[in-house]
Amino acid sequence: MIIGIENRLGLKYLLGCPDDHLGVPDIALHHADLARVRWKNASGQALQSFTYSLAELAAMLRTAGFTRLAFFGAFPDYKLPDVIVPLDDGGRLANELLRKGPPAPEHNGYNGDPLPAVFQEELGSLYRSLAEDGIAHHFVPSFFVRASQDHRPDSSMSPSVVDELFRALADRGLISTEPAPQPLPPSNRDRRSELARHSWRVRLPDGREAS
């Protein structure tokens, strides 16, 4: 499985850049409990969008059964990456890179606008300080994660093959299927269309559903 996702502790968010999903600062960067309270107070709605730190993502993936994880930092973000650097060497390469400042100009991930020059300057200064302490890799703007399981061979099944498999099972009456509903179009103009996603909601003979 390959994941591309923002870093909850991305340095630009700590400095006040709006969150890519909510479009406002100083909410999603907090732990889930506080983030829920602040979003409820600000919008009157329940928070349903969360991002996670490197350690949190690793713990979640291991809990889900993934035993082999590889983390990468993506600059300026995973949606339009200019630079991708491995993080599994204790952050050595990332910290060497960040001692010189951001490897690519960063932007507001909610609307794609470039961040002001003074903001870029502050990012560079803090990245250098964090890199000198050997911890800057925890504050990259976003991650790529490659996750797999030791006991399961790598799958080379394409989405079309999976679709054909589900249809064959449905034709035999073993499962009933229907396409899962697509999410609303994203407000972020950098995000790609969801139409390419292949997802199914599956109803098993005992009535249980999965997607």
Per-residue pLDDT of the chain (211 residues; tens, 9 = 90+): 999 999 999 999 999 999 999 999 999 999 999 999 999 999 999 999 899 999 999 999 999 999 999 999 999 999 999 999 999 999 999 999 999 989 999 999 999 999 999 999 999 999 999 999 999 999 999 999 999 998 655 555 566 666 666 676 667 665 655 554 454 555 555 554 444 445 556 666 666 666 5
57: CB partners within 8 A, 6+ apart: 3, 5, 71, 143, 145
Residue 150 has a pLDDT of 80
Q: At which residue do the structure tokens 């409820």 appear?
A: 40
Residue 169 has a pLDDT of 67
Domain ends where: 103, 129, 148? 148
Residue 160 has a pLDDT of 64
Which range marks the domain in which residue 171 is found?
159-210
Residue 47 has a pLDDT of 94
In a domain, 153, yes or no: no
Burial 39-54 (b: 16+ CB within 10 A, else e): beeeeeeebeeebbbb
Residues 120 and 19 in one domain: yes
131: CB partners within 8 A, 6+ apart: 94, 95, 96, 97, 98, 99
Domain ends where: 100, 117, 148? 148
Name the amino acid, one letter, at 63.
Answer: T
Our count of domains for the chain comes to 2
Residues 123 and 40 in one domain: yes
In a domain, 154, yes or no: no
